[in-house]
Structure 1
């Protein structure tokens, strides 16, 4: 059996993209050549690695078993090549990470830029989505690590507390409850502008609110903090977001905070990675950099 690096690279690219044509572009091969390489790999392993669902290829159990092994092998080869290159003494390469909305926009974007300015041969790609999408990206090996606002209970994922955060309930400055401390019952029947299903912010708030029998009633739903803030400014209802996202509007008095007795909205952000995947040199360096840059000891 002679498995080639080209076959493993094509396999990993197909696993990431779900399509042979897209995978071929990722590894600079023609589609026929990529398809042939994948067929040769399956023939040598005497196993099918994907199931076709519509126009996409999805890993089956055999493919899922191979993916972490292939990724690890390709990473080791890349490390060898870098170590013996003229710039081998410098940190270099690409890092793919995923982050939920608040973390990605308000913490990781600036961290990635600062990291790449310090390590000029690196590129950190930050994909921003909701927490569930981040978990899926890590499970599918599209991202070496993820940063999420909610919990992850998948046994394949390693989870570490990474940073602290606080959610704030806010409203239009002219709202009767603006700036007040109220009982949970005072918010009964109030309309809410909420994040989408799968959002860590949404899940954390709803669970905390329901423990106090607040039963928040969703009137509008948006997938970005900016859309939620704009809706609240228009008087659409109450909102709840990370204080990281509200600093500017609160300082300008464009929005106002409502404090609720007994409602604890302090939470942790988490860093996640697949248990079958080791950190690359650039991944480990980025974790250490963020710890200092953001003071993430928590």
Structure 2
């Protein structure tokens, strides 16, 4: 059985008007086409739906049974059309996003909350992990867009500059180099508290340190900025993190910065997408909203 929405629409129009000719005008069809569609519906249902009384058609028992069901079906279709033709429709649903630690915790988490408060039919599912895991999630299509702190050289992924960041070398306030501007040899061979393997912060720092032959000795490795800051507060060594993560501790003088001459720690954040996947309207809306909310130049 293949009942069509067109047949139900014609049936309802005939039921409401009582005449094929009048129903044909309502559905913008010819009278013969309207009559033929009604006859086909009765054939498919194997029952008559109307009785002729004079020049009018009146619903019989079977037609009266069908009418509320047909009306409900047509109303549901209309609701679907209205839902997906409204401006709000494209900003509904769930957007899956992955971001590396600094970006996720200090930028996108607050942006996602603000976006969902404004667009209440949307939800941003933000997975915060490290750069390599973000790249993997984009490649596996488990997220629509990713934001990373490190490099991505995979040819399947489109990489775009998104925001700039600065890394800071820091230490315990009682460290002999605390608050000083020093030469590279003064920190050469020092103990360091590092981010875990796969972290964009780690990779960027190691590359910059190797250019100055700093020879950092990895004493500890942690996957979160909070763990690294705690270790440094306990005198475990030097560390490097985004300035986004250190503002509170530096203001409280719980940690101190060391400036190493020649150590370039300004870095780029990146937005990544799979090349074979076009961004949804919801994804584009979140991206533009975040740029405004975080005051990021496009």
Q: Quick check: TM above 0.5? A: yes
Q: CA RMSD in A?
A: 1.4
Measure, in 1, the Cα distance between the counterparts of 2:80 and 2:269.
Answer: 33
- 1:179 equivalent in alignment to 2:170: no
Residue by residue over 1:23-80, the C-alpha shift from the partner in whole angstroms, topping out at 9 and shown as x without a partner, is xxxxxxxxxxxxxxxxxxxxxxxxxxxxxxxxxxxxxxxxxxxxxxxxxxxxxxxxxx
Q: TM (normalized to structure 2)?
A: 0.71
Q: Map residues 112-151 of structure 1 onto 2, 5 A cutoff.
A: 112-151=112-151
SS state of the match for residue 174, structure 1? Answer: coil
Residue 189 to residue 99, structure 1, CA distance change in 2 (3 Å): same
TM superposition shift of 1:201: 0.1
SS state of the match for residue 296, structure 1? Answer: coil
Unaligned runs of 5+ in 2: 1-78
2:207 matched residue in structure 1: 207
Measure, in 2, the Cα distance between the counterparts of 1:265 and 1:94.
Answer: 35
Measure, in 2, the Cα distance between the counterparts of 1:268 and 1:283.
Answer: 21
Residue 260 to residue 82, structure 1, CA distance change in 2 (3 Å): farther
1:12 matched residue in structure 2: none
Measure, in 2, the Cα distance between the counterparts of 1:143 and 1:89.
Answer: 24
1:250 matched residue in structure 2: 250
Residue by residue over 1:191-221, the C-alpha shift from the partner in whole angstroms, topping out at 9 and shown as x without a partner, is 0000001000000000001000111110000
1:162 matched residue in structure 2: 162
Residue by residue over 1:157-206, the C-alpha shift from the partner in whole angstroms, topping out at 9 and shown as x without a partner, is 00000001000000000000000000110011210000001000000000
Residue by residue over 1:90-133, the C-alpha shift from the partner in whole angstroms, topping out at 9 and shown as x without a partner, is 12111000000000000000000000111010000100000000
SS state of the match for residue 85, structure 1? Answer: helix
1:28 matched residue in structure 2: none
- 1:266 equivalent in alignment to 2:266: yes
Measure, in 1, the Cα distance between the counterparts of 2:160 and 2:225.
Answer: 25
Measure, in 2, the Cα distance between the counterparts of 1:205 and 1:171.
Answer: 15
Residue 136 to residue 129, structure 1, CA distance change in 2 (3 Å): same
Unaligned runs of 5+ in 1: 1-80
1:56 matched residue in structure 2: none
Q: TM (normalized to structure 1)?
A: 0.71
Measure, in 2, the Cα distance between the counterparts of 1:148 and 1:82.
Answer: 37
1:18 matched residue in structure 2: none
1:220 matched residue in structure 2: 220
TM superposition shift of 1:82: 6.8
Measure, in 2, the Cα distance between the counterparts of 1:119 and 1:223.
Answer: 33
TM superposition shift of 1:291: 1.3
Measure, in 2, the Cα distance between the counterparts of 1:117 and 1:203.
Answer: 35
Q: Map residues 235-246 of structure 1 onto 2, 5 A cutoff.
A: 235-246=235-246
- 1:111 equivalent in alignment to 2:102: no
Contact 1:83 1:89 in 2 (8 A): no
Q: Which has the larger radius of gyration?
A: 2
Structure 1 stretches of 4+ moved >4 Å: none
